[in-house]
């Protein structure tokens, strides 16, 4: 299975990018900060879309797209969608696989204490993709924070593994680079990821 995760910081003017690799060749898209409105979510005819929009303030929004030959449904998370955390969970049946895709955006850093029980609650494999906004030496940063230290401790004691390399996913206007977008999955399904 192939996935592409992207904090697009507004996709409306970047739709042309979806026609070239890695987007055109990936089976699953997991996008953060889409800035889309309900009527804008039709990006590609070969995908089914699941999304949440940020209400009451511009920006934000999550979109998870799956192949047309897959079935999926949104799983209620029980979390209030606020400006500090957006979470979209989709249950997927694809080929011989049954799994959950969790898409998240935490603009001020993910507090694992708020979500770890949700992440650990599923009896089927889980993929977690998102813009966690956490810095830690575990994924190549030269600094850390209490939130990132808590996250790494949870990750090391969980049944999840980090799929990322230490290649940066964000470049600041100052030229500094960071890995803020993380891709994590249950160890039991990691063999199925290209």
Chain segment 139-177, per-residue pLDDT in tens: 877 788 899 999 999 999 999 999 976 665 555 555 554
Where exactly are the structural domains of the chain?
3-192
- For domain 3-192, the CATH architecture is 4-Layer Sandwich (3.60)
pTM, to two decimals: 0.89
Chain segment 133-148, per-residue pLDDT in tens: 888 888 877 788 899 9
**101 exposure class (CB count in 10 Å sphere: 0-12, 13-18, 19+):** buried
């Amino acid at each position: 299975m192939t996935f592409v995760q992207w904090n697009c910081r507004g996709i409306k003017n970047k739709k042309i990018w979806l026609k070239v690799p890695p987007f055109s060749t990936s089976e699953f898209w997991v996008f953060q900060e889409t800035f889309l409105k309900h009527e804008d979510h039709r990006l590609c005819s070969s995908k089914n879309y699941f999304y949440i929009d940020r209400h009451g303030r511009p920006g934000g929004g999550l979109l998870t797209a799956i192949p047309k030959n897959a079935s999926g449904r949104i799983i209620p998370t029980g979390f209030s969608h606020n400006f500090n955390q957006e979470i979209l969970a989709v249950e997927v049946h694809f080929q011989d696989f049954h799994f959950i895709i969790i898409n998240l955006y935490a603009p001020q850093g993910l507090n694992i204490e708020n979500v770890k029980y949700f992440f650990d609650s599923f009896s089927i494999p889980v993929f977690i993709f998102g813009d966690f906004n956490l810095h830690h030496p575990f994924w190549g940063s030269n600094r850390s924070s209490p939130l990132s230290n808590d996250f790494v401790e949870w990750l090391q004691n969980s049944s999840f593994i980090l799929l990322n390399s230490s290649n940066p996913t964000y470049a600041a206007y100052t030229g500094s680079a960071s890995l803020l977008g993380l891709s994590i999955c249950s160890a039991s399904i990691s063999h199925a990821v290209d």
